[in-house]
Amino acid sequence: MPSYLRLGDLPPKRHTQFRKPDGSLYHEEVFGTEAFSGVYSTLYHEHAPTSVSRIEKMRDLNVSEWRPDTHRHHHIKTKNIEPSRDVVEGRRPLFYNNDVFISSVRPNSSMESFFRNAQGDELYFVHEGKGTLESVFGLLPFHEGDFVVVPRGTTYRIMLDSKASRFLIVESAGPIEVPKRYRNDYGQLVELAPYSDRDFRHPEKLVTHGEKGEHEVLMKIDNALMSYMFNFHPLDVVGWDGYLYPWIFNVNDFEPLTGRVHQPPPIHQTFEAPGFDVLSFVPRKLDYHPLAIPVPYNHSNIDSDEILYYVSGDFGSRTSTATRYCTMSAATLEAAEESRLDPTRYTEGGSIMGPSQAPSKQASEKTRPTS
């Protein structure tokens, strides 16, 4: 949720001289979006952020599409994917189109190099584990249940504090934001929003590194992974302020709206982005009209694919699913099955839904878990 934030040391006025103790200038960087018309932050570096000593292409990141013969629902078993090196190198593609790229990863180590996604904004869902996102904006600790929003172009690495970790990762062609209908004209969350400004977490502490020597930043661009080498530590920011930075919202802070009869999925909306939305189905009281049927009515979401990731508990409108799994309902095929839940009870399941407005492609069996 963009709101003004500042950390570290800053000059009284932007775009003016800001000198180091030795009299030399700090290097000012405007980190912004939409050609100087969108949100931005201003950072002050020890070294020129453009001082790259070497650039190499590591490999292409092209994903081949799986094209099943039959147009139907799919159940993707992501629970037992193999542990991998880190959250960048180990991503297992699941679904993608021109708007969104969804993957899963079980990293077993912290990142050695830094990373910068120049191709899309990122949303990490922390299903298991805890750690810290270290970036040019400071330290941002995370734990189970967190959504971690990372703007494109952010230089960061993820350091793990747990042996077992699991992430669902969404890469977006556009910014991942709080839905506009939850905000007033000033950007403040309205009273009817399912969360409040107090629920968001932002970088807590800015740590400035002055170390010299080679440091690698891996960059994703044009479906390829590049290696950028710097002769200084890339987290060399002494101060910054602005509206663009990583932030966190925990799914357990989502306050669900309920109704006497079954409510449609948009009431669960958590984030919006160009071409898709992210919804959180959290424990809540089910439909409580005396004659209510506490399950989704049969519906055909004709122009969207629906992808559900099962997080915990028992999800009310699905049977025979397990946590850490995904299901995909292709456009025109969605039909809910009847549930045996008592309408006076609560649903205890938790899941994340990503309706995509464009058809979603599935990664080939070489790169995705078993279907």
Q: Phi/psi of residue 251, each to 5°?
A: -60, -25
Q: Is the pLDDT of residue 330 over 60?
A: no
d(CA 171, CA 95): 11
| Per-residue pLDDT at 359 | 61
pLDDT in tens, 67-103: 888 877 878 888 888 898 899 989 999 988 999 999 9
Residues 367 and 84: their CA atoms lie apart, in Å, by: 13
Tell me the whole-structure pTM to 2 decimals: 0.88
Give the total residue count for the chain: 371
Q: What are the angstrom distances between the C-alpha of 132 and each of 16, 31, 156?
A: 33, 22, 10
Separation between Cα atoms, residue 117 and residue 146, nearest integer Å: 20
For 304, the 3-state DSSP assignment is coil
252 Cβ contact partners less than 8 Å away, ≥ 6 residues apart = 145, 282
Averaged pLDDT for residues 123-147: 97
pLDDT digit string (tens) for 259-312? 999 888 889 999 999 999 999 988 888 888 999 887 767 777 778 888 888 888
